[in-house]
Amino acid sequence: MKIAIIVNPLIPVPPKQYGGIERIVFMLIQELQQYGHDITLFANENSEAGCQLVPYREHENYGLQDMLKINLLTSKIAYQHFDLVHTFGRMSNIAWLMFSKLPKIVSYQLPPTISQVIKASKIARKHSLYFTACSNYIARQINDHCHVTTIYNGVNINDYQVNSTVDADAPFVFLGRIQKEKGTAIAIKLVIETNSKLIIAGNIPVEKLHQEYFYSEVKPYIDNDQIRYIGPVDDQQKNQLLRNAQALLMPVTWDEPFGIVMAEALACGTPVIGYNRGAIPEVVTDGINGYVCNNEQELLSGIHNIGKINRLNCRRIAEEKFSADVLARQYENLYQLALSK
């Protein structure tokens, strides 16, 4: 198949550090090319995805001018002998393609705008528009209005080394953006109450709200002994950090659409302890590869009982549900379905 893949152009594919969607797109491209498909990527000009690149830009404050300019670019896909187009970016950037019979896949990694889904479904050529969601939590928001398939995010399993055992005094890990809804301060409170250790890794967003959160609720507890903050980490550092942790803490206070870091942890054999929010109960099976908790007391119980989780089971589940090959095969099956209509 000759496939056009589109991603918003603000971050290169693959990303250097933060960039979950761009990481998934890069992984998908690598797998599809191994299957023999011809991929053209529309993305940031600094992308190095190992396929043909069509670079494009948009302003940070996306507007009508951006939409028109980008649609002028993407509309040409209909006349360039592509078999289908798959976008992980703004659906408005393929608005003109809606009138084409070319099969179109729109993938949601974040909560969708339902009004846009309804509008696109009405104007698109019959049997030409398909949607995917990175979790059932996201899919449920639009499945009354369109054809949507849940395809979980994944990781390159071989990039992560499993650790079947860790020391009883090994640290717990918080890995993600340092902001309130991610639950960094809650993770700190949990390890203090259980006399455990915590390593915090991730970037601090530049917005004032998040800076204030870090300096008031996180930084005062960093003593470089019980609680350490090591900043953003690359893939190699992430692998070492996760595989040597007792568990990944995910005490999020928002509905996580998927949470790729959970799949990364499981690939290392590291269980996950998190709140019952968003897609967390789809990734974590309570008592099998971690604990799904409804309140702080259950989080504390999860920490006390983390030694009961079989770390090799965590790795097995990652291989079966969240590997790059599983992800790519599911997308390939959807492509074939779209082409058969």
Q: Which two tokens stand for residue 156?
A: 């390159």
CA distances (Å), 311 to each of 154, 184, 299, in order?
18, 24, 18
User: Exposed, middle or buried: residue 194 (CB in 10 Å: 0-12, 13-18, 19+)?
Assistant: middle
Q: Is the pLDDT of residue 77 over 70?
A: yes
Candidates 293, 109, 270; CA nearest to 190 is 293
Q: Is the pLDDT of residue 193 over 70?
A: yes
Question: Are the C-beta atoms of residues 37 and 82 closer than 8 Å to each other?
Answer: no
Q: How far apart are CA 39 and CA 17, in angstroms?
A: 24
Q: Tell me: the pLDDT tens digits for 199-210? A: 999 999 999 999
Which SS3 state, helix, strand or coil, does residue 26 take? helix
Q: Is the pLDDT of residue 9 over 70?
A: yes
Indicate the CATH number of 157-321 among 3.40.50.2300, 3.40.50.2000, 3.20.20.10, 3.40.50.300.
3.40.50.2000
Block residue for tokens 């309140």: 295
DSSP H/E element including 335? helix 324-340
User: Exposed, middle or buried: residue 224 (CB in 10 Å: 0-12, 13-18, 19+)?
Assistant: exposed
Record the pTM: 0.93
Q: Is the pLDDT of residue 18 over 90?
A: no
Q: Tell me: the pLDDT tens digits for 248-282? A: 999 999 999 999 999 999 999 999 999 999 999 99
The residue type at 46:
N
CA distances (Å), 207 to each of 17, 135, 204, 310, in order?
18, 28, 9, 40
Candidates 89, 154, 97, 86; CA nearest to 120 is 97
Q: How far apart are CA 139 and CA 114, in angstroms?
A: 11
Quote the pLDDT of residue 17: 66
Query: What DSSP assignment string belongs to 118-145?
Result: HHHHHHSPTT-EEEEESSHHHHTTTTTT
Candidates 28, 295, 264; CA nearest to 162 is 264
Q: What is the CATH code for 2-154+323-340?
A: 3.40.50.2000
Quote the pLDDT of residue 188: 98
Q: Is the pLDDT of residue 213 over 70?
A: yes
Quote the pLDDT of residue 16: 75
Question: Are the C-beta atoms of residues 198 and 174 closer than 8 Å to each other?
Answer: yes
Quote the pLDDT of residue 230: 96
Q: How far apart are CA 337 and CA 130, in angstroms?
A: 10
Q: Which residues in the chain are classed under CATH 3.40.50.2000?
A: 2-154+323-340, 157-321
